[in-house]
Amino acid sequence: MSEPTRGPADQPDTGGPTRAPRRLSPLTPLVRGGILLLAMVATSWDDLLAGRLGPVGLTLLGVLVVGGVIGYASWLRTKYWIEADELRIDTGVISHQSRQIRIDRLQGIDIVQPFVARLFGLAELRMDTAGGDREGSLAFLPLAEAQRLRQTLLAKRDAVRRADPTDDGSRAEGPSPPRGWSRDWAPPDHDIAVLGLRTLVLSVVFSPTTVALLVGGAFFGWIFAHNGVVMVAPGLPVVAGFVLLQVRRLSAYYGFTVSRTSAGLQVRRGLLERSSQTIALARVQGVVITEPWMWRPWGWARLDVSIAGYGSGGESEGGPSASTVMPVAARVVVLRLAQDLLRGEDAGGDDGDDDGKVEVDPDVVRTSPPPDRARWLEPVGRRFLGAGLGADVAVAREGRFTRRTHVVRHARVQSLRLAQGPLQRALGLADVHLDSPPGPVHVRFRHRAADDARVLLDQEQLLARAARSARAVRAAR
C-alpha cells in the first residue's frame, strides 16, 4: 500500500507528533462498501453473465452509487491529528463533529482488520478510554500507518503520564502504574505464547459442541434412514448452526498470539478478521483457568481475564470473546500467563525489591473442599469445590467436569458477601462471595461450614485492606 496522504513521510516514528491533519486511507469507502459490492455481484450473477442488470442489480447499483458518494464525502471530511495532549478526530459531512481524545486517558489501542480490509492491507484503530466504552475509532488506515500511530500514541501517553504523575487522568482509573513500569516490562513485542494450529483444531474437535453435533448427526441420520428427508429438514439448521459455531471459533482463534509490549499484554488472533487487542495490566481484575474434561488427557486449559470496563465476557453465547487471553494451551503455559496478568504492575524492576515477592501462583495456594454435609446441596461437585486464601491471591475452584479456577488479587476485591439460605442454615453452611467488576471471574467459596465461612470473610477482609493500603502507599511514592 502506498502512503495515501501527503503528510510528512520521513518523520520519526515516535516523538514526532502528527500535527498536520491527516486523512484515512482513500480506499476506506471501497472497503466499507465492499460487502454491498459482493452482495450486488452475488445476487445478480445470472443477469451480469447475460450482460444486463436485473431489478435487484439496478437497486443495488443505485445504493452503491449513493453510498459511494457519501462514503467519499465522508472520507474527504474525516481528518485526524495530534494536538497538544489530545488526539482530534473531525468527522461529518452535513453536521460536523470534532472529537477530542485525551491521550493520557487512553487505556488500550486495538488494531482490527476485518476480512475485506485485510485484502487491501488496511486496518482499523480502536481507542479504548478510561470510560470503558470504545469511543474513538479510525477506520481505515494502512496497516503500517495504524501500527505507527498506535506506537506514537502509546509512547506519548507514557511520556505524559510520567511527566505529570499527579494528573487527574490517573485518578479516574485508580492509581497510575508505578514509575518504571513501562520501562521494565520486557522488550516490546516479544511473543510469549503462540497457539499452534494442531492444538487449536484438536481443542475445537474435542468439545461438547462436537459431541452434540455427533449425537445430533447420528439421531438425524437414523431418522433419515427410516423416514426420509422430510423429517430431517427442520433439524438441519440446528446442525448447521453447530458447525458454524465451530468454524467461527476456529477462524477467530486462528494464529492466536500473546506478546509482551510496553503497554501490557497484546493478543492477536483471527483467520479472516485479524484483531489485535492490548490488555493494560493495571486493569486486570482477575483470571479464570478453565479445564474441560475432554482436554484433560492433553493437560490443556484456557485462560480468561476480567478487565475493568470490558463487561461480562465468556463464551456463553458460543462466540469467541474479548476476555479470552488464551483459548487453549498446556496448563503450564496458561499458569505462566495467568501469573503475568495477576502480577501486573508489580512485575519485576526496582519496585519489586522492597515489597517482597508477589506470590500469584494459584497452584501454590492450598484450597480445601467444603464439609461432607455439603453433598446434600452439591451432590456431584462437592469434592471439586475449593476455597483458599494465599498471601496475595484468593482462589476458588469449582466444577466436576469442567474445572474452573477463579483467581483474584486481594488488592482487586471490591466487596465481600456472606450468604446463607434456609437449607444452608439447617446444614450449618454458608457461601462467601468476593465481588469483582463484571467479567468471567467470580470468586465464591460455596457451602463452607458456617464458622469457617465467617473466618474466610474476616481474613479476606483483613488481607484486602492490607493490600489496598500497600497499593495506595506504592502509588503515592
Partner 1 sequence: MRSRVPVGSGGGYAPGTVEPASVDDVFTPPEGAWERVSPALSRLRRTLLAGVGLVMLAVLVLVSLLVPLPGLLVAGAGVTVVAVVVLGWVAVGRSVRRWGYLERDQDLYITRGAWFRRLVVVPYGRMQYVDVQAGPLDRAFGIAEIRLHTASPGTSAHLPGLPAAEAARLRDRLTSLGEAQAAGL
Cell numbers standing for residue 223: 431418522
The reply to whether 173 sits near partner 1 by the rule CB under 8 A is yes
Rounded to the nearest 5°, which phi and psi values hold at 330?
Answer: -60, 145
The reply to whether 474 sits near partner 1 by the rule CB under 8 A is no
Site for partner 1 in 273-332 (CB under 8 A): 283, 285, 308
Q: How far is CA 48 from the centre of its chain?
A: 43
| Span interacting with partner 1, options 145-153, 232-240, 363-371, 445-453, rule CB under 8 A | 445-453
Report the residue from 5, 341, 436, 440 that binds partner 1 according to the rule CB under 8 A.
436
| Span interacting with partner 1, options 6-14, 257-265, 320-328, 463-471, rule CB under 8 A | 463-471
Q: How far is CA 421 from the centre of its chain?
A: 35
The reply to whether 450 sits near partner 1 by the rule CB under 8 A is yes
Pairing of strands 97-102, 264-269: unpaired
The reply to whether 459 sits near partner 1 by the rule CB under 8 A is no
Name the DSSP class of 121: T
Cβ distance to partner 1 smaller for residue 383 or 425? 425
C-alpha to C-alpha distance for 173 and 437, rounded to whole angstroms: 13
C-alpha to C-alpha distance for 109 and 149, rounded to whole angstroms: 10
Cβ distance to partner 1 smaller for residue 97 or 414? 414
Shortest reach from residue 84's CB to partner 1, in Å: 26
| Span interacting with partner 1, options 55-63, 250-258, 328-336, 432-440, rule CB under 8 A | 432-440
The reply to whether 343 sits near partner 1 by the rule CB under 8 A is no
Q: How far is CA 365 from the centre of its chain?
A: 26
Cell numbers standing for residue 379: 451432590
Site for partner 1 in 175-204 (CB under 8 A): 175
Name the DSSP class of 469: H
Three-state DSSP class for residue 363: coil
C-alpha to C-alpha distance for 310 and 63, rounded to whole angstroms: 36
Q: Is 469 exposed, middle or buried (0-12, 13-18, 19+ CB in 10 A)?
A: exposed
Site for partner 1 in 42-101 (CB under 8 A): none
The reply to whether 453 sits near partner 1 by the rule CB under 8 A is yes
Report the residue from 61, 273, 416, 474 that binds partner 1 according to the rule CB under 8 A.
416
Shortest reach from residue 447's CB to partner 1, in Å: 13
What residue has cell string 519489586? 352
Shortest reach from residue 106's CB to partner 1, in Å: 16
Strand stretches in 211-270, DSSP E: 257-261, 264-269
Shortest reach from residue 416's CB to partner 1, in Å: 4
Cβ distance to partner 1 smaller for residue 296 or 444? 444
Cβ distance to partner 1 smaller for residue 6 or 477? 477
Rounded to the nearest 5°, which phi and psi values hold at 221?
Answer: -60, -40
Apex CA 369: angle with CA 363 and CA 372, to 5°?
165
Q: Distances in Å between the alpha carbon of 70 and those of 64, 67, 77, 88, 137? A: 10, 5, 11, 22, 19
188, 261 contact by CB (below 8 A): yes
Shortest reach from residue 436's CB to partner 1, in Å: 6
Q: How many other CB atoms are there within 10 angstroms of residue 274's CB atom?
A: 19
| Span interacting with partner 1, options 183-191, 233-241, 253-261, 456-464, rule CB under 8 A | 456-464
Report the residue from 97, 227, 368, 414 that binds partner 1 according to the rule CB under 8 A.
414
Q: How far is CA 477 from the centre of its chain?
A: 31
C-alpha to C-alpha distance for 1 and 416, rounded to whole angstroms: 54
Report the residue from 442, 445, 446, 463 that binds partner 1 according to the rule CB under 8 A.
442
Residue spans of alpha helices (H) in 97-207: 115-119, 143-163, 168-171, 181-184, 197-205
Return the C-alpha torsion angle 318, 276, 441, 394, nearest 10: 150
Question: In 3D, which of 380, 343, 342, 384 has the Cα closest to residue 367?
Answer: 384
Residues sharing a CB contact under 8 Å with residue 296, sequence separation 6 or more, in sequence order = none
Report the residue from 8, 415, 459, 473 that binds partner 1 according to the rule CB under 8 A.
415
The reply to whether 454 sits near partner 1 by the rule CB under 8 A is yes
| Span interacting with partner 1, options 20-28, 171-179, 213-221, 322-330, rule CB under 8 A | 171-179
Cβ distance to partner 1 smaller for residue 68 or 428? 428
Q: Binding-site residue total for partner 1 (CB under 8 A)?
A: 38
| Span interacting with partner 1, options 22-30, 34-42, 90-98, 415-423, rule CB under 8 A | 415-423
Shortest reach from residue 352's CB to partner 1, in Å: 21
| Span interacting with partner 1, options 136-144, 179-187, 316-324, 422-430, rule CB under 8 A | 422-430
The reply to whether 34 sits near partner 1 by the rule CB under 8 A is no
Apex CA 285: angle with CA 284 and CA 290, to 5°?
95
Report the residue from 56, 84, 197, 472 that binds partner 1 according to the rule CB under 8 A.
472
Cβ distance to partner 1 smaller for residue 289 or 453? 453
Cβ distance to partner 1 smaller for residue 97 or 368? 368
Binding site for partner 1 (CB under 8 A): 171, 173-175, 283, 285, 308, 412, 414-422, 425, 428, 430, 433, 435-438, 442, 450-451, 453-454, 457-458, 461, 464-465, 468, 471-472
